[in-house]
Amino acid sequence: MNIKILYKLQELLKSSPQLIDDNNAFSKAIKVTFGVDVIVNSTDITTLTNTIDEAVLENYFSKVWQPKTKKYKYSGLAIVDEINNLNPNNVLDLGCGYNEFKGKINNLIGVDAYNDRADINCHILDYNPTTKFDAVICLGSINFGTVDKIYNELKKAVSLTKPGGFLFFRANPGRQHDAPESQWIDFFDWNPSFILNASNQLNCEVVALTEDGGNRLYFVLKAK
């Protein structure tokens, strides 16, 4: 659950409790506060928080966000040769955005919930292919929400990787994006301790872990 949105909703209702009895007015208040269109059918706070969170993510990543791939030393264009040198039979890009690596990395499938340039439009946890992959890319895509959500998405990525396959990550250590439309996104604060402990639990070897671009973490896991 997005705690920032939850707290703001509670604050909004404490100052204007009459919104609970007026779905139309509540929808307008959400638009003004969070900048997204949400039809209020239920005033259950948990349901509304999740609905607004999804609308905020979709608005930002489908209309505002632009990739900055070239600025990253390890998880930028260098990753193309690194993965192609593995001679993979298949590669999965989870949260591929504009699908920049399509045609550059061999045998790649891009999955993204918010960008039409993806080969498949769905959330990470909803992607259930019939095969596993030699390499899985997750560049900034497992980065939104609480620690249980992040762990479950990380676990899903590992489950989609063949034994002996590699996973490539760019992770945000909790830094807010500059665009105002991102202010309600709950960025998870990745850190080396979480990476090492979660990887051990998921039966993966950490083969690389370093800073990338000065404000991101780059790490590579090998599935056992």
Q: Which tens digit of pLDDT belongs to each residue from 39-69?
A: 998 889 999 999 999 999 999 999 999 999 9
User: Both ends of the chain: CA-CA distance in Å?
Assistant: 31
Distance of alpha carbon 30 from alpha carbon 181, whole angstroms = 14
Q: So what's the pLDDT on residue 138?
A: 98
Q: What is the mean pLDDT of residues 160-187?
A: 96
Distance of alpha carbon 1 from alpha carbon 145, whole angstroms = 6
Whether residue 182 is predicted with pLDDT greater than 90 in this model: the reply is yes
Q: What is the mean pLDDT of residues 81-110?
A: 97
Strands ordered across the beta sheet of 161-171: 108-111, 91-94, 133-139, 161-171, 216-223, 204-212
pLDDT bracket for residue 13 (50, 70, 90):
very high
40, 19 Cβ separation under 8 angstroms? no
According to DSSP, the residues that pair with 122 across neighbouring strands are none
Q: So what's the pLDDT on residue 43?
A: 81
Query: b vs e for 149-169, b when ≥16 Cβ sit within 10 Å of the residue's Cβ?
Result: bbbebbebbbebbbeebbbbb
Distance of alpha carbon 9 from alpha carbon 49, whole angstroms = 8
pTM of the predicted protein model: 0.94
Whether residue 33 is predicted with pLDDT greater than 90 in this model: the reply is yes
Q: What is the mean pLDDT of residues 192-210?
A: 97
Whether residue 214 is predicted with pLDDT greater than 90 in this model: the reply is no
Q: What is the pLDDT of residues 100-114, one digit of tens each?
A: 999 999 999 999 999
77, 130 Cβ separation under 8 angstroms? no
pLDDT bracket for residue 131 (50, 70, 90):
very high
Q: What is the mean pLDDT of residues 135-153?
A: 97
